[in-house]
Structure 1
Amino acid sequence: MGASDGTPVAAGRGKRMPRAVREQQMMDAAVQTFARLGYRAASMDQIAELAGVSKPLVYLYLNSKDELFTACIRREASALVAAVQAGIEPGLPADRQLWDGLTAFFRHTAENPDGWSVLHSQARTHGEPFAAEVAAMRAEITAFVNHLIGDAAREARCDPHLADREVAGLAQALVGAAESLAAWANDTPGVSAKEAAATLMNFAWAGLENLMKGDRWSPSAAATSSAGKSR
């Protein structure tokens, strides 16, 4: 039987579960509920039932549905950023660091599909302040990718016309592609983290290598090539 405030008593020991553990248990339940039902459809009653606690206890610990959702976003965002950072070994060539980072990213999103759904699908569609929390996480990851592309350009002694703004745009494109690919991989049975990472590396890095050598695509070049083939 649980305690009068709704906190279950540890079996056979008469000790209540520590607050931090209980709070994480409620957040686990909240992430699962938000991911599977959506933010608007999810209720505090459902979250409390899944966590095995009373509804008043959820409010006591986490105040409101908005604050609970924000706490879930922050926890899942921090976990994702930490997983990517932990997967990278500083000092390796930039392409290897990007490969390791992408593999860690796809592994984490595959192992935490509810958390990824909260970040990628739910938080972005319900306006401020939720979207701002996800934007902060995305900015942190994008800044890291921007740094890697810049390092790779310097290692390759690349085309001097590869401007900072272009590097920033490439980083945005790469992160956006990774986010979409993670959603696809989670919905496609049998796609491993390494397979997803290799797909993106093959799509992006080969192009980046050519760009760094000054081999650029341009509309005029494409038109010339097309005209030659039509003769």
Structure 2
Amino acid sequence: MGAVKSKRVPRAVREQQMLDAAVLTFARRGYRAASMDEIAELAGVSKPLVYLYLNSKEDLFNTVIRRESAALVAAVRSAVEPGVAADRQLCSGLKGFFAHTAEHPYGWAVLHQQARTHGEPFAREVAALRAEIVAFITELLGAAAKEAGCVGELAEREVAGLAHALVGAAESLAEWANVRTDEGASGDPEHPSAKDTTATMMNFAWMGLNQLMGGERWVPGGLVDHESGSCARR
């Protein structure tokens, strides 16, 4: 009686299994310490098959970065509620960002911790991801300024600067939310929900943006109300 042949796994499915294994390995080990042997074992395939499908370790790492970057951008864009007020659009986009990074902590670790620390070409790939998200947030902030009727007050360069600051703060907050080791009352590490992290980010960013779009500017010693010309000390 002949041996029963195992069902052949389609190449596209097998590649995703290898990439999933690579994400986990790179996040845990780092790029330099990660081995193709470990990735192959975790994916349940032979090492030659990993090389056949995904080439070298450097090519594999680049493919992982591109896949995780595309997934993150898609999550942010798809989360934004169309046709609502600017603050709700920003809030929903941030929630999409924090939810995705919480649901895919290893992918986020590869992007935020590993890829950006190993130089070209990896850092360039992450920079491209960041630029795309910054451009998207710039659009949202520009729409918010227009909605508030203060396009002249918030110059294009300033809106871009605010977008960079907001994205940087969100990245830092996601890092804190995903790796924190505070001990909760039960003794288990507590990780804030995406909803809570979004609220923290909106309280930090939007409240200040509201004042800015209302004509108030910070100066040493207080706030200047550009509409009245007075300085409101807080």
User: Normalising to structure 2: TM-score of the pair?
Assistant: 0.88
From the two aligned structures, give the one with the greater helix fraction.
Answer: 1
Aligned to 1:117: 109
Question: 1:93-124: per-residue Cα shift (whole Å, max 9, x none)?
Answer: 11100000000100000000000000000000
1:152 to 141, 144, 147: 144
- Whole-angstrom distance in 2 between the partners of 1:13 and 1:79: 35
- Whole-angstrom distance in 2 between the partners of 1:221 and 1:85: 37
The correspondence of residues 56-205 of structure 1 with structure 2, limited to 5 A, is 56-158=48-150, 160-188=152-180, 189-205=190-206
- SS of alignment partner, residue 90 of structure 1: coil
- Equivalent pair of 1:159/1:214 in contact (CA under 8 Å): no
**2:46 is aligned with 1:54:** yes
> 1:14, CA displacement in angstroms?
3.4
> 1:190, CA displacement in angstroms?
2.9
Aligned to 2:226: none
- SS of alignment partner, residue 216 of structure 1: strand
> 1:130, CA displacement in angstroms?
0.5
Q: Relative contact order, CA 8 A, sep 6+: which one is greater? A: 1
- Equivalent pair of 1:158/1:212 in contact (CA under 8 Å): yes
- Whole-angstrom distance in 2 between the partners of 1:131 and 1:152: 31
- Over the matched positions of the two proteins, sequence identity in percent amounts to 69
From the two aligned structures, give the one with the greater strand fraction.
Answer: 2
- Whole-angstrom distance in 1 between the partners of 2:153 and 2:67: 40
**2:208 is aligned with 1:216:** no
Aligned to 1:7: none
> 1:13, CA displacement in angstroms?
6.5
- Whole-angstrom distance in 1 between the partners of 2:7 and 2:196: 46
- SS of alignment partner, residue 218 of structure 2: coil
- Equivalent pair of 2:95/2:195 in contact (CA under 8 Å): yes
Question: 1:111-145: per-residue Cα shift (whole Å, max 9, x none)?
Answer: 00000000000000000111111111111111111
